[in-house]
């Protein structure tokens, strides 16, 4: 809470009341006021951490952030995967509920967000964090996934897993297979919620890779960045939930993603923020002051990177020939912004290659996907942006004009 000192006149009135009640006022009276609902910057990164060595954490001489209390940590730029900071990034750790990041990814890729999910008996009463689902409850998959990420509902993960794969073990295999595909080879999942199991583990680097992949999916950010929601199927009479991820309103640009805690995992958070198009991901595992450290890492990242743009939404990228239309060619525009963060002292080679056909044939509607812009950093693909038709191009030839003219003539005669 923030505090303000009362002015002297009010202090005297308050003091008089307190003295009248038998209370001696020896220090200035303070009035607590509520924290702003959405402060511009966070308070936590301003806190001075104790020395990590007090907890027996080994800190190397070249550690750029020696006061971090995380046993494992990593900070990356999402599109390139470039590591901006790391500590024990490949050490095996228990992920706790950060597991649900992969649960969401698999559900997004294998499910339909408009599907209705029916909660089965296996989802009811799962230990730990809960949405208090009951057998027979029905809700859209999108809402269930959003509630799962906001409130860390372990019961929701079982309902999702059974809806997508028929069982939790089958779904967990899909999660592990996806991790391998992404390159997170130090990760193995045996459940969808993250409750402790010796065979359920990951690394800070793998979690960063998994999360970066998530941000490449169209619906991922829109789900992990929800602060408040109202759903009719919630048990709470208010039908309202608020995200447990306070970074969303405490940190400028905060847009994800997931907290976690078990006794074996310690306190964990995968946090993310975007500024000027630069998406950073910070992971801290087994960290008693996870919010302070997460904010400090993101601060460090934004202080050391600058945005480099490939294209902007709506910006013309190239032109293409159009057949059977009134126009001979049209502009193709970028569907969205594409920006990466590069270190101030580095100048990587940025390239953009256009993949479009030699020509397109009418009819074409404005917004149709016609091609892609492939974005490279030092020869590595970091982004693919759809190229859209900038205008309508209805079908048109001499014979179509003649047919139209003749049709109108006949209507006029008869």
Which residues, 6+ apart, have CB-to-CB distance to 413 below 8 Å? none
The residue from 152, 271, 338, 390 that is catalytic is 152
DSSP secondary structure letter of residue 381? E
Residue with tokens 């809470």: 1
Query: Cis bond leading into 87, ω under 30°?
Result: no
Handedness of CA 220, 226, 231, 237 (dihedral sign): positive
Please choose, from the candidates 412, 411, 350, the residue with its C-alpha nearest in 3D space to the C-alpha of residue 378: 350
How crowded is the C-beta side of 75, counted as CA atoms within 13 Å?
25
The residue from 89, 100, 274, 372 that is catalytic is 100
Question: Is 225 a known active-site residue?
Answer: no
Which tokens belong to 279? 């998406």
Question: Is 97 a known active-site residue?
Answer: yes
Question: Is 100 a known active-site residue?
Answer: yes
SS3 of residue 317 by DSSP: strand
The residue from 72, 89, 97, 338 that is catalytic is 97
* Phi and psi, residue 285, nearest 5°: -120, 135
Please choose, from the candidates 130, 157, 126, 129, the residue with its C-alpha nearest in 3D space to the C-alpha of residue 141: 157
* Beta strand 228-230 pairing with 240-242: antiparallel
Which residues carry out catalysis? 97, 100, 152
């Amino acid at each position: 809470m923030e505090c303000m000192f009362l002015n002297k006149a009010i202090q005297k009135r308050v003091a008089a009341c307190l003295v009248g009640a038998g209370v001696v006022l020896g220090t200035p009276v303070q009035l607590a006021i509520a924290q702003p609902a959405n402060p511009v910057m966070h308070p936590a990164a301003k806190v001075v951490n104790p020395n990590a060595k007090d907890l027996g954490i080994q800190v190397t001489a070249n550690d750029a952030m020696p006061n971090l209390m995380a046993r494992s940590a990593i900070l990356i730029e999402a599109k390139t995967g470039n590591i901006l900071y790391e500590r024990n990034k490949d050490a095996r750790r228990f992920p706790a509920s950060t597991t649900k990041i992969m649960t969401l990814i698999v559900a997004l890729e294998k499910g339909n967000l408009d599907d209705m999910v029916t909660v089965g008996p296996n989802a009811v009463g799962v230990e730990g964090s809960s949405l208090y689902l009951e057998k027979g409850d029905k809700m859209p998959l999108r809402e269930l996934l959003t509630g799962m990420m906001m409130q860390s509902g372990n019961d929701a993960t079982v309902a999702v897993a059974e809806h997508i794969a028929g069982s939790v073990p089958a779904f967990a295999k899909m999660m592990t297979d996806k991790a391998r595909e992404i390159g997170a080879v130090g990760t193995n999942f045996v459940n969808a919620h993250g409750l402790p199991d010796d065979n359920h583990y990951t690394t800070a680097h793998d979690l960063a890779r998994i999360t970066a992949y998530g941000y490449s999916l169209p619906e991922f950010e829109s789900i992990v960045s929800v602060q408040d929601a109202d759903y009719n199927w919630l048990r709470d009479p208010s039908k309202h939930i608020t995200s447990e991820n306070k970074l969303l309103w405490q940190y400028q640009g905060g847009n994800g993603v997931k907290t976690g805690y078990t006794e074996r995992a310690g306190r964990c958070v995968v946090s993310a923020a975007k500024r000027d198009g630069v998406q950073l991901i910070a992971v801290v595992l087994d960290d008693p002051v996870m919010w302070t450290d997460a904010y400090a890492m993101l601060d460090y990242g934004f202080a050391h990177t600058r945005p480099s743009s490939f294209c902007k939404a709506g910006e013309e990228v190239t032109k293409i020939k159009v057949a059977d239309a009134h126009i001979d060619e049209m502009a193709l525009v970028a569907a969205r912004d594409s920006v990466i963060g590069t270190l101030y002292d580095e100048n990587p080679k940025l390239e953009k290659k256009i993949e479009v056909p030699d020509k397109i044939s009418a009819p074409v509607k404005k917004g149709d996907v016609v091609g892609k812009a492939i974005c490279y950093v030092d020869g590595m693909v970091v982004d693919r942006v759809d190229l859209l038709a900038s205008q309508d191009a209805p079908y048109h030839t001499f014979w179509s004009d003649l047919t139209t003219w003749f049709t109108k003539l006949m209507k006029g005669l008869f």
